[in-house]
Amino acid sequence: MNAIISASELADALRSERPPVLLDVRWQLSTAAASGQPFDGRAAYASGHIPGAVFVDLDRELASTPGPRGRHPLPDLDVFGAAMRRAGVSAGTPVVAYDGGIGWAAARAWWLLRWTGHPDVRVLDGGLPAWDGPLEAEAEAEAEASAPAEGDFVPKPAGGAVLDADGAAALARSGVLLDARAGERYRGEVEPIDPVGGHIPGALSAPTSDNVDADGRFRPAAELRARFGELGVTRDVPVGVYCGSGVSAAHEVLALEVAGIPAALYVGSWSEWTSDPARPVAVGPDPQ
């Protein structure tokens, strides 16, 4: 099954006898928008969302409290499961996640659902900007009493899809570890968020932005395979991905899935790695 879905395919699926559950996961990495106010995903959802979609809060429902394990550690499974059931997610129901742009937040929801055992999850390619159908405001949704019925999904985590700090360090030596952040952060030229710039020794720079075209849609699978192949990534080599806090890296794992290559996610990512000053840091374009 393809891990992404186009807007036209989604429109058809919503008219089918088995429509997917829709998760609206709008979120921004920056703490403030151009107005100077923090981005409010719920307010964006309330102003207009794909009809039937349910808002999911990335910071509160797809992650747990920031700390030594990073800015977006794995969520408490009870909290995550309750959020998914509230949204109408059941084990046998298809799910589509979308956000307001490139797909980082939607990919985090996709990855968590897949990791915890849901068999049918996709991300809307291009996010909400790609959707040319009607939008529904929250007041309209309430008036139509369109809240979904409670789902029955119970998260059951799989094994090898998750890396910790030691596992990421080992994979950088024995396989391929990709750094999904912007190149200047990988090289340590700038670090706007974490206390130290640079990268995990042995990791290769593979910015998430290169996974998509100018419209924010994923590049074709063949192009993605060629891109990752230039970095030594094949189906026969163990692959892992990290970023700043395990959000944009989920998008890279999704891009690898589109290319037909399984990959593990280092959820704690650079924000966890740099929380321990004893961990080594490499700078510059050289992986080592």
The closest of 88, 28, 18 to 58, measured between CA atoms, is: 28
Start-end of H helices in 48-200: 58-61, 77-86, 104-115, 138-143, 165-174, 183-186
How far is residue 109 from each of residues 20, 37, 50, 112, 185, measured CA to CA in Å? Answer: 15, 25, 17, 5, 25
206 is a catalytic site residue: no
> What's the token pair of residue 101?
């742009």
The closest of 118, 123, 119 to 98, measured between CA atoms, is: 123
Backbone angles phi, psi at 223, to 5 degrees: -65, -40
- What does the chain come to in residues? 288
**DSSP one-letter code for 22:** E
Which position among 25, 62, 171, 243 bears the catalytic label?
Answer: 243
The closest of 91, 155, 98 to 124, measured between CA atoms, is: 98
What are the residues whose beta carbons fall under 8 Å from the beta carbon of 268, sequence distance 6 or more? 69, 70, 73, 164, 165, 242, 245, 246
The closest of 253, 35, 2 to 125, measured between CA atoms, is: 2
Active site residues: 243
